[in-house]
Structure 1
Amino acid sequence: MQVEWPPAREPAAQRVWREVLRPIAAEMRASADDLAARAVARMRSELPELFPDAQTVEENLVSTEASLRQLAQIIELAGDPCRLDLPPPTLAIARSAVQRQVALADLMRFYRLAQEQVWQWMFARITAAARDAGDQATALELATGFLFAYADGAMLRAEKAYEVEREVWLRGAAAARAVAIEEILSGRERDGRRASSRLRYEVNRHHVGAIAWVEHAPESGDAQPVLDDAFTTLAHLLGAESTLVHPLSSLAVAGWVSRHQVLTVADLDAVTGVRTQAVPPGVRVALGEPGRGLEGFRRTHIEADHARRVASLIGPHGGALTRYRDVAVTALATADRDHALSFITRVLGPLAADDETTYRLAMTLSVYLEENRSRTRAAERLTVHPNTVSYRVRQAEEILGRSVDIDTLELRVALVMLPAVSGLRRSQVNEL
């Protein structure tokens, strides 16, 4: 074993490194995903403002896991922790933090919390593995020095990446544009002409707001190109004359497409009809409804944000493209998570069970009620035989323990909310 790090070159230190620290490093590499999840959970409790959405959580999980694997590998090799470059996902976070206006102090606090978490994990394993008091003291001294050197180097590189990105960002129009967008969305900016000048995007047009995101970071660590492609495709399908894209994180962007001619419901229906071609693989898109002028710019974004929230709750039951009009009732009804779960449980009872068979019965009943109890039209939408619709509806009634003719409004609303129930339950568990 060729030792690069000077403190580990002494023969006694090399033996402890080989017998104690290398096996712990191998365990760290194998357990990197679990350790990253625990570290990010701790950071979310300490710094909740740094995790505004699911994509930010995911990018930090990917970054933390990559850093842990890098740390484990360099410990196994007894390499120099001061000569490492940051993993690409970690660099992406440092850069996107500038655009999200995350303070550098908060970013550094993130590193310190991660360092503390990793040290506690290593301390427990060193004290368990090194029986001899002298070996234990040596292992703790080596691990402490190594981890601090690694963290210091990583923090210096993250700070440098942050400052370089910040300098570029501040010199350009991005900073002013981000502030202008925030003031429009908050309702503080009410002058359309001034807003257009600040954004370098004409707001006195017809807009559609959209949010595009990926659930997982790509191998390259940079999701922006594929997200930009999603907006380019959307703009083309809608015949847009201009676009505005605003990063939300390294895994998500918000944007608007606009034109002078009215953007109609039919235009969005056409995009929805070709949703598989409109959205690149791995990308999810949420759309607001068309709006005009400054208020339309604001409202269509808010609607897209609600559609995105519902799409995240629905998870695998949803598609690549989610339109606000299709999930408006669910968005409104799930704004209060605990109230929504209570309502669904009360109205649907065992029909809200988390298994595919019961879910299929519930969704058949939902379509049946939407089609005014026409089993023929429901069968056409579900591409099944009308007798199958009748059979499933009877099964759903048996599970409910009552006729579907009772409390129809509550039943229909609860069924519309049902695809989001798994996501609501997950978010409830994550807060505990």
Structure 2
Amino acid sequence: MEVEWPPAREPSAQRVWREILRPMAAQMRASAGELAQRAVARMQIELPELFADQQNVQENLVSTEASLRQLAQIIELAGDPRGVELPPSTLAIARSAVHRQVALADLMRLYRLAQERVWQWMLTHIVDKASDAADQAVALDLATGWLFAYVDEAMVRADRAYEVERDAWLRSAAAVRAAAVEEILADRERNEQRASKRLRYEVNRHHIGAIAWVEQASDSGENQAVLGDALAALANTLGAETTLIHSLGSLAVAGWMSRRDAFASDTLDAVGRGSRVPGVLPGVRIAVGEAGRGLEGFRRTHFEAGHARRVASLVGPRGAAVTRYRSVAVAALGTADRDHALSFITRVLGPLAADDEATFRLAMTLSVYLDENRSRSRAAERLTVHPNTVSYRVHQAEALLGRSVATDFLDVQVALAMLPARLGLARPRPDEL
């Protein structure tokens, strides 16, 4: 195998590379997910303002893990990091930082924080594996060269991507529109006529706010186009007349759909049942707020969509493709305090809060049964099962509860509404790892 990296061409350096650094790189690649979590946790502590929500955390986890795998591959192949092309997810963050008005200095700081965490990991590995002092010195010198050269090149390319995007952004109407959106959401803009002009979107109408997102970046880096298409498909389903799209980062976009007349309630109800919207690709998830009018409705429906997205992210794979705020409003309120929510669910439901699918099915059947005012037939219709099945599952659920559902009825109903989010609530935050 030809060694591209000049410092590794000496015979003694090649031996250290083969015996110490290549195995270290393989372990780095295998541990990239865990290392990324630790690096992002450090970023959150140092620059919390850049991690306003879980989506910002997720996109940085994806980008950092991809970069770690790339660095590991370079070391494994004794490659030259100075010619590397950044992963699409990393470039996407540099570009989206412009739209979110993240300072370039803060973006560069993220690289240095990640570099510090990775260097500590590499140092520990080398000291542990290299018993000979001379080998340890060579390994440290090589590892330092590879890491610093990679980070320097990554910063140069990210800087370039940021500058190109910023130049285009400043020349476009998108910057004016994004600034207007931020001022409206912050309740600093209260003039509907001026807001409409800045947005190029009529505010004095009926609005439905939505957020579309994906959990990880695509190899093509075309997430924004896919998410924009998803919201356009939703707007078409809802019968909207105009649509406004606003980027929330590389993995998420917000949108507003409007009509001069009110939205049909049955259409919104149909979307709120969680089935996939025609024209939306698999893997795209959508959260939808309730209809509102004017500037206040513009703000409120967006915040409701944000709460619905948070609940959908907590629910995870068990959740539907579309989450309507009205359907999860109780869960949104109840899970605002994570530790309190977990304690409440566990105390009220006891064994009925177990994680296995069979128990979860019993709990959800009981939830639907209570939502339908204890009607077996209506619950059976919603669940597409026989009424006797509903009765059987309700009895089993009550057995696990150890009491009738008539006891602490409200507490039970609220805890059941929060239960799908339990696994997400129990997951440690990156800053707890």
* TM-score using structure 2 length: 0.94
Mapped partners of 1:263, 1:61: distance in 2: 38
Mapped partners of 2:44, 2:14: distance in 1: 38
**Deviation, structure 1 residue 259:** 2.0
Mapped partners of 2:300, 2:25: distance in 1: 51
Mapped partners of 1:390, 1:81: distance in 2: 64
**Deviation, structure 1 residue 144:** 1.1
Unaligned runs of 5+ in 1: none
State percent identity of aligned pairs: 73
Residue in 2 aligned with 1:18?
Answer: 18
Moved more, 324-333 or 273-282: 273-282
Residue in 2 aligned with 1:342?
Answer: 343
Post-superposition CA distance 1:272-301 (Å, at most 9, x none): 468324332110001111111111111111
SS of equivalent residue, structure 1 residue 275: coil
Mapped partners of 2:384, 2:267: distance in 1: 26
Residue in 2 aligned with 1:154?
Answer: 154
Post-superposition CA distance 1:116-140 (Å, at most 9, x none): 1111111122222222221211111
Q: Does the C-alpha gap of structure 1 residues 148 and 214 become closer, same or farther in structure 2, counting only changes over 3 Å?
A: same
Q: Does the C-alpha gap of structure 1 residues 21 and 428 become closer, same or farther in structure 2, counting only changes over 3 Å?
A: closer
Are 2:272 and 2:327, in contact at CA under 8 Å, matched by a contact in 1?
Answer: no
Mapped partners of 1:268, 1:59: distance in 2: 30
Are 2:273 and 2:322, in contact at CA under 8 Å, matched by a contact in 1?
Answer: no
Are 2:38 and 2:430, in contact at CA under 8 Å, matched by a contact in 1?
Answer: no
Moved more, 201-210 or 6-15: 6-15
Mapped partners of 2:343, 2:24: distance in 1: 45
Aligned ranges 1:225-304 → 2 under 5 Å = 225-272=225-272, 275-278=275-278, 279-304=280-305
Residue in 2 aligned with 1:369?
Answer: 370
Residue in 1 aligned with 2:223?
Answer: 223
Post-superposition CA distance 1:242-284 (Å, at most 9, x none): 1111110100000101122221322312434683243321100
Mapped partners of 1:349, 1:322: distance in 2: 27
SS of equivalent residue, structure 1 residue 184: helix
Mapped partners of 2:394, 2:77: distance in 1: 63
Q: Does the C-alpha gap of structure 1 residues 430 and 302 become closer, same or farther in structure 2, counting only changes over 3 Å?
A: same
Residue in 1 aligned with 2:56?
Answer: 56
Aligned ranges 1:322-401 → 2 under 5 Å = 322-401=323-402
Q: Does the C-alpha gap of structure 1 residues 6 and 428 become closer, same or farther in structure 2, counting only changes over 3 Å?
A: closer
Residue in 2 aligned with 1:425?
Answer: 426
Residue in 1 aligned with 2:313?
Answer: 312
SS of equivalent residue, structure 1 residue 190: coil
Post-superposition CA distance 1:177-225 (Å, at most 9, x none): 2221111111111100000111111111111100000112222233112
Q: Does the C-alpha gap of structure 1 residues 19 and 404 become closer, same or farther in structure 2, counting only changes over 3 Å?
A: closer
Moved more, 9-18 or 171-180: 9-18
Mapped partners of 2:429, 2:341: distance in 1: 11
Say what the alpha-carbon RMSD is for the aligned residues. 1.9
Are 1:206 and 1:293, in contact at CA under 8 Å, matched by a contact in 2?
Answer: yes
Are 1:265 and 1:290, in contact at CA under 8 Å, matched by a contact in 2?
Answer: no
Post-superposition CA distance 1:103-158 (Å, at most 9, x none): 21221111111111111111122222222221211111121122111111111111
Mapped partners of 1:322, 1:426: distance in 2: 21
Moved more, 331-340 or 201-210: 331-340
Q: Does the C-alpha gap of structure 1 residues 382 and 238 become closer, same or farther in structure 2, counting only changes over 3 Å?
A: closer
Mapped partners of 1:82, 1:429: distance in 2: 31
Residue in 1 aligned with 2:206?
Answer: 206
Mapped partners of 1:367, 1:123: distance in 2: 55
Are 2:16 and 2:138, in contact at CA under 8 Å, matched by a contact in 1?
Answer: yes
**Deviation, structure 1 residue 430:** 6.0
Aligned ranges 1:173-212 → 2 under 5 Å = 173-212=173-212
Mapped partners of 1:188, 1:142: distance in 2: 53
Q: Does the C-alpha gap of structure 1 residues 333 and 179 become closer, same or farther in structure 2, counting only changes over 3 Å?
A: same
Residue in 1 aligned with 2:140?
Answer: 140
**Deviation, structure 1 residue 337:** 2.3
Mapped partners of 1:375, 1:273: distance in 2: 20
Are 1:275 and 1:320, in contact at CA under 8 Å, matched by a contact in 2?
Answer: yes
Q: Does the C-alpha gap of structure 1 residues 76 and 430 become closer, same or farther in structure 2, counting only changes over 3 Å?
A: closer
Aligned ranges 1:115-134 → 2 under 5 Å = 115-134=115-134
Q: Does the C-alpha gap of structure 1 residues 345 and 109 become closer, same or farther in structure 2, counting only changes over 3 Å?
A: same
For these two proteins, the number of residue pairs brought into alignment is 432
Letter in 1 for 2:375: S
Q: Does the C-alpha gap of structure 1 residues 146 and 431 become closer, same or farther in structure 2, counting only changes over 3 Å?
A: closer
Mapped partners of 1:283, 1:183: distance in 2: 28
Letter in 1 for 2:160: K
* TM-score using structure 1 length: 0.94
**Deviation, structure 1 residue 431:** 4.1
Mapped partners of 2:355, 2:226: distance in 1: 33
Mapped partners of 2:430, 2:214: distance in 1: 23
Mapped partners of 1:274, 1:381: distance in 2: 13
Residue in 2 aligned with 1:68?
Answer: 68
Post-superposition CA distance 1:297-340 (Å, at most 9, x none): 11111111111111111212210001111112222222222332
Mapped partners of 2:57, 2:269: distance in 1: 32
Mapped partners of 1:206, 1:345: distance in 2: 41
Post-superposition CA distance 1:51-80 (Å, at most 9, x none): 223322222222112211211222222222
Are 1:229 and 1:280, in contact at CA under 8 Å, matched by a contact in 2?
Answer: no
Mapped partners of 2:349, 2:270: distance in 1: 34
Mapped partners of 1:199, 1:20: distance in 2: 57
**Deviation, structure 1 residue 234:** 1.1
Letter in 2 for 1:384: V
Letter in 1 for 2:168: V
SS of equivalent residue, structure 2 residue 427: helix
Letter in 1 for 2:52: P
Are 2:192 and 2:295, in contact at CA under 8 Å, matched by a contact in 1?
Answer: yes
